[in-house]
Structure 1
Amino acid sequence: MWDLAGTLPLPLGVLDREGSTVIVGLNGLRLLRDGAWKRARAEAGA
């Protein structure tokens, strides 16, 4: 709501943007785990 009104402080805006980028990156790293590939192969074969 703050950002729509243009009253969001700059440091909070930066933290929000960078924080979401880190979350997306960490979520993508889950694909590198062996367990994720094994689970995907098992589901595809079922």
Structure 2
Amino acid sequence: MTSASSRSPLVDAVRTDLPSLLRKHVAAHPEQVFVESFDGTT
């Protein structure tokens, strides 16, 4: 129970920062993101 309540502020922070985090990850590993995005759909 305590882990769920402590996780929700973290989830809010991740949701808020998700676009910038994705941009940083894509900039660091463009080929990895490309492969992973298509690997899940096929």
TM value normalised by structure 1:
0.33
Specify which structure has the bigger relative contact order, considering alpha-carbon pairs within 8 angstroms and separated by 6 or more residues.
2
TM value normalised by structure 2:
0.33
Question: More helix per residue: 1 or 2?
Answer: 2
